[in-house]
Amino acid sequence: MTRLSQFAAALAVATVAALPLAARASDPTDIIDYRKHVMKTLGAQSASMAMTLQGKAPAENFVLHAEALAIVASTALQAFKEKVEGGGSKPDVWAKWPDFEKRMTELATNTAALAKAAREGGVAAAGPKVQGALTCKGCHDIYREKK
């Protein structure tokens, strides 16, 4: 193969590989499932992190759970962007989108700061910030259907 045809072949492979990444979810069930998965992961990571602080789980995992929480929180806003009412979400999520967006962005910012403090200063630095970073209930009280 010439260099040019090698390049063209590589480009074709790259293009095909990139396609699924560019595809948008459009099935409403997928959209709701995805945001539920993201939220459940937030729940699991918060609970795991709390257990490391309470001496019920390995303390050395505190930093990793704080980091996982921050990463998942950074995916959460995107998971709600498409307006698909239902699941456990109240219609206000989309009717009051600027407020919802602000709250979800704050969660991502605060958990990122928590993870940074945990990495740099461990439990001593990050422990006191945990409660303030977990603004979960404040949002659920407004935007999540009561069970």
Q: Which of residues 86-125 bind ligand HEC (CB under 6 A)?
A: 87-89, 93, 100, 103-104, 107
Q: How many residues form the binding site for ligand HEC (CB under 6 A)?
A: 23
- What is the nearest approach in angstroms of ligand HEC to the Cβ of residue 102? 8
Euclidean distance between CA atoms 16 and 12, whole angstroms = 6
Here the tokens at position 138 are: 């404040």
Nearest to 35 by CA among 82, 97, 70: 82
Q: Tell me the per-residue interface mask from 21 to 50 with ligand HEC, x by CB under 6 A, - otherwise.
A: -----------x--xx--xx-xx--x----
140 binds ligand HEC (CB under 6 A): yes
Helix segments in 59-144, DSSP class H: 62-80, 92-95, 97-126, 130-133, 136-143
User: How far does Cα 58 stand from its chain's mean position?
Assistant: 23
Task: Count the neighbouring beta carbons within 10 Å of the beta carbon of residue 119.
Answer: 14
139 binds ligand HEC (CB under 6 A): yes
- What is the nearest approach in angstroms of ligand HEC to the Cβ of residue 63? 17
- What is the nearest approach in angstroms of ligand HEC to the Cβ of residue 51? 14
Three-state SS at 9: helix
Binding site for ligand HEC (CB under 6 A): 32, 35-36, 39-40, 42-43, 46, 87-89, 93, 100, 103-104, 107, 134-136, 139-140, 143-144
